[in-house]
Amino acid sequence: MKYARSFGLRLLSAAVLIGLAPGGQAACPLDGVTPMNIGAPNSIGTPPETTTVPLWVQDSEGLAVEVCPGTDQLNCISLPPDDPLGGNPASPEELAFAASIGFGEEAFYASAEALITIPAGRALMVSAIEIAYLNGFSSATPPDTFTRLRIRVDIDEAGTYVVTTPWGQKTYLVTAADVGPNAINDTVDLPFVADQVGFVGALGPILTWDTFPDDPLLDQYGPPFRFDPPFGDSGPDGVADYIGTLNFVNPVTGGPEHAVKGSPCGTNFFRVEGPNIGGPGIDVVETDLFAVTGKIFNGASLPTPLTIDQATYSRSAAGRVNVFATAPTQATVSFAGGANLPAGDQPMTGDGSGRFFGSVALTPDAATVPADITVTADNGAIDPDNLPTDLTVPLIDLVTITRAEYDYASGDLTIEARSSDLATPPTLSALGQTLTGGLLTVNTTVAPPAVTVTSSAGGSATVDVTVIHAP
């Protein structure tokens, strides 16, 4: 298989914008992205010409971005106030509204675009955290806020094509009827709202340039373009920081493209694989250069992102507490609890991809189990704008379902399960009935596709039902 790379990148106008990870990168999740936290609602503009949008968007690594103003066309692709409709005529009311809020009908917290020139035309990837007025540009119309991942590829030969982005991989079957411009035309828009925790959008973490002040290509550029890693609010000159800029000329492409970092999957590139996609015998095209924009949140420090994935106990003669959590890859994470846990914070070990685990024995005995567990994550050593986060959850048992089987011939649905608490076995229930000795058999004409077993100690588990003796 021949292989070709493309540096034929050009930034598109804003009007166009309508998975195992290496160490030090967020874990590549099954759905391709990591969660984001969305800030409180923020009113922008001078009354009565105002709008309300989330104050910031924070990714799983703790990076928070704010609306990139349309008045800053060196670093942002938000539509400018003097051209709020992207080249279309604007009314005096629309111009007044845009002048008040500082951007037009499309604005961006962050964006990253990659373009590969191919014989059939182009292969395009657009990612964005976006604000758009889809129902009219005025203060009376609430804007839509969403993440976008768009793939468009011109194809001149039918076949199977695999597209890899920083957030995963998708396969497309292109038929002879599909061949032509935008034969692959896939846009995923996922809306978010203010004060949303754990939002899973079309992208995350946010892509940024991979290098900043030490990049020799930046020596010729000064304010308003400045970076101060780790991601600070502002440089010593008070100029706001950015995650990328248009105020840059790549000597290879002639445009503002740059290598990036941030992929949770270790795929900091855009790749298309398919029959002769790059020309006769060239089945792979790829670029690792992106045009990146985004303004780092220039406000109060934010909590370190933290998710407690599981906090459970097990006990028989002895006992143990196990805690799983997700936090920025280089954060310091620990947990603490109450009775029969060692004093002080118990350190959790990270795997270098954002997953953390901690385990301690109940001591001096297993007679008493703490009611809850508090997990603390601190990313301040990496990003001074991240404050420590404490989350407290109940400590529960771990339920394991060993059998969920429906006998089609007899109509018997059999469920077997157990709790991790063997010292004081809790009550297990399923389908509104109690398991006896960990067993429940129910006769039914129609079996459920899955069953859930819950424990009086707080745990639960769900598994698909297996069907036997079907005709």
Nearest to 397 by CA among 369, 439, 364, 375: 369
What are the extents of the domains in the chain?
A: 2-296, 302-396, 399-468
Task: Specify whether the CB–CB gap between 188 and 167 falls below 8 A.
Answer: no
Classified as helix, coil or strand, 15 is helix
pLDDT at 212: 64
Reported confidence tier of residue 11, pLDDT bands at 50, 70, 90: very low
Whether the pLDDT of residue 285 is over 90: the answer is yes
Least confident span in 122-131, 220-229, 347-356, 378-387? 220-229
- Residue 53 clears pLDDT 50, i.e. is over it: yes
Region 284-298: mean pLDDT is 94
Question: pLDDT tens digit string along 149-189?
Answer: 999 999 999 999 999 999 999 999 999 999 999 999 999 99
**Cα–Cα distance measured from residue 221 to residue 139, given in angstroms and rounded to the nearest whole number:** 37
What was the pLDDT predicted at 27? Answer: 56
78's tokens = 């938000």
For residues 372 and 394, the answer to whether their CB atoms sit within 8 Å is yes
* Adjacent-strand bridge partners of 251: none
Cα–Cα distance measured from residue 242 to residue 212, given in angstroms and rounded to the nearest whole number: 10
> Looking at the predicted structure, is the pLDDT value of residue 290 above 90?
yes
* Statement: residue 14 has pLDDT above 70: no
Q: How far apart are CA 274 and CA 424, in angstroms?
A: 59
Q: Smallest Cα–Cα separation from 374: which of 423, 425, 420, 321?
A: 321
Average pLDDT, the chain: 88
Check: CB of residue 365 under 8 Å from CB of residue 320: no
Question: Running DSSP on this structure, what letter comes out for residue 84?
Answer: T
pLDDT at 233: 38
Read off the pLDDT of residues 313-346 as tens digits, 9 standing for 90 and up: 999 999 999 999 999 999 999 999 988 999 999 9
Any idea which fold 302-396 has?
Immunoglobulin-like (2.60.40)
Q: Can you read off the two tokens belonging to residue 199?
A: 């939002």
Helix, strand, coil percentages in the chain from 3-state DSSP, rounded to 5: 5, 45, 50
Model pLDDT for residues 234-252, shown as the tens digit of each residue: 444 344 478 888 877 888 8
Q: What value does the mean pLDDT take over residues 422-439?
A: 97
Whether residue 227 is predicted with pLDDT greater than 60 in this model: the reply is: no
Per-residue pLDDT reduced to its tens digit, 372-390: 999 999 999 888 889 999 9
Give me 301's structure tokens.
Answer: 């420090």
162 vs 285: CA distance, rounded Å: 11
Strand 2-5 to strand 282-287: parallel, antiparallel, or no bridges (unpaired)? parallel
Residue 253, pLDDT > 60, answer: yes
pTM: 0.82
Q: How far apart are CA 320 and CA 370, in angstroms?
A: 11
